Amino acid sequence: MTIIVRYLTLSYNFVTVEESFLGFLNVDDTSGKGLFDITLEELKSLGLEIDDMRGQGYNNGANMKGKHQGVQKRFLDINPRAFYTPCGCHSLNLTLCDMANKCVKGKNFFGFIKRIYTIFANSTKRWEILKDNVKAWSLKSLCQTRWESRVESVKAIKLQLVDVREALLQVGEKDNDVAIASEATSLAEKELGDFEFFVSTVIWYENYRETGFSKAIVEAKEIAIEMGIDPIFPQKRLIERKRRFEQFKEYDRVFGFLFPHNLRGIEDKDLKSYCHRLEKALKFEERSDIDADELYTELKLFETLETNEFSNPIDVLKFLKELDYFPNASIAYRILLTIPVTVASAERSFSKLKGEPTFYQGVDFGSKEGDFLEDFGVD
């Protein structure tokens, strides 16, 4: 398990979001309680006060994010101001997985990719047939945790469709297992002989946002003509998609008004309501990090200054620190910037340790990776 601490470095006219990698922890008990106990013990041994914790972020494992027995809930029981946000990168990855799994065409496509790989990988003899036909890129299995790595699985087939198809046909002719031979022949003649499959390989392999659908069709037609397949594409049906990022909505509800583009033009009654909501969220055992009325006064004063050029909270906090008479606003922005929105840095530490990880359980206090932090002014 990785532990990373996220914090702010402040000086008179300088603000930066920092992260410190504290190390790896050996974990025997991967239940929510087991992970919580070892994390709590480590933080205490480092002299870090749990009462000072204002954010916590993990991957999307139930033992970490669980609302009842997860690590985040156990920390919230001790300190309700340790705001939990799920990893934005994990959520984006899972959103893409959900989209693909909700789309029958996408689910079937990756099912075909997996079946092709499995046929060859489950037998050394069949793998030799594959090697005899496929020279450039070896087939890859599908990765369940890192969606972007699936492009390698698609690449090996997309760029060698003729060779992979020939290998499947040879398995169908030579393999003694009737079921395997039948499946190999079916994949070669149906899926790898289908124009829709060719379009799917182009869409999932290319940068679809930049190349677009029309270019995908053109390239798929060229592949089909090369393989002697009719370029006929059936109509797709509409699909439903799950919603994610519900926790980020709560985060926006509490802290969203502090972002410069939201702060401009807020009516007085709404601003006062937001300040009291934030005070309540930051209150524990009759103590709060801020005073709502004082924060309201400071933000109203802030509005009268030349602040239109501010585009993110870091710029605002730099400005407030230079003036040094906005104590409540400074604390509010420090907490906003400390709360993690992704734990990509924790996973990156495992990549540095082992190369490509097969399992990890990230625990950290945030990361400055990913698109989510653009609003925070962090590259």
pLDDT of residue 367: 39
SS3 219: helix
Return the higher-pLDDT residue of 108 and 358. Answer: 108
**pLDDT at residue 330 tops 90:** yes
**pLDDT at residue 231 tops 50:** yes
Q: Which of 101-105, 137-141, 186-190, 215-219 has the lowest mean pLDDT?
A: 101-105
Return the higher-pLDDT residue of 103 and 52. Answer: 52
Neighbours of 81 (CB within 10 A): 18
Residue holding tokens 């919580």? 36
pLDDT of residue 108: 86
Per-domain residue ranges for the chain? Answer: 2-91+244-376, 104-227
**pLDDT at residue 364 tops 50:** no
% of the chain with per-residue pLDDT over 70: 86
User: Burial code of 191-229, b = ≥16 C-beta within 10 A, e = fewer?
Assistant: bbbbbebbbbbbbbbbeeeeeeeeebbebbbebbeeeeb
Cα 188 to chain centroid, rounded: 35
Q: Is the dihedral of CA 205, 210, 212, 217 positive or negative?
A: negative
* Calpha distance 34→322 (Å, rounded): 44
Q: Is the dihedral of CA 62, 64, 68, 72 positive or negative?
A: negative
Chain segment 257-313, per-residue pLDDT in tens: 999 888 888 899 999 999 999 999 999 988 899 999 999 999 999 888 866 778 889
Beta-ladder partners of 23 = 3
* Calpha distance 220→197 (Å, rounded): 9
Q: Are 55 and 366 in contact (CB under 8 A)?
A: yes
pLDDT of residue 124: 93
Provide the whole-model pTM: 0.53
Q: Are 365 and 55 in contact (CB under 8 A)?
A: yes
Region 178-188: what's the mean pLDDT?
Answer: 93
pLDDT of residue 107: 83
Tokens of 75: 């920390």
Residue holding tokens 């899972």? 94
Mean pLDDT of all residues belonging to the chain: 83
* Calpha distance 42→71 (Å, rounded): 14
Q: Is the dihedral of CA 204, 210, 214, 218 positive or negative?
A: negative
pLDDT of residue 89: 81
Return the higher-pLDDT residue of 97 and 65. Answer: 65
pLDDT of residue 233: 58
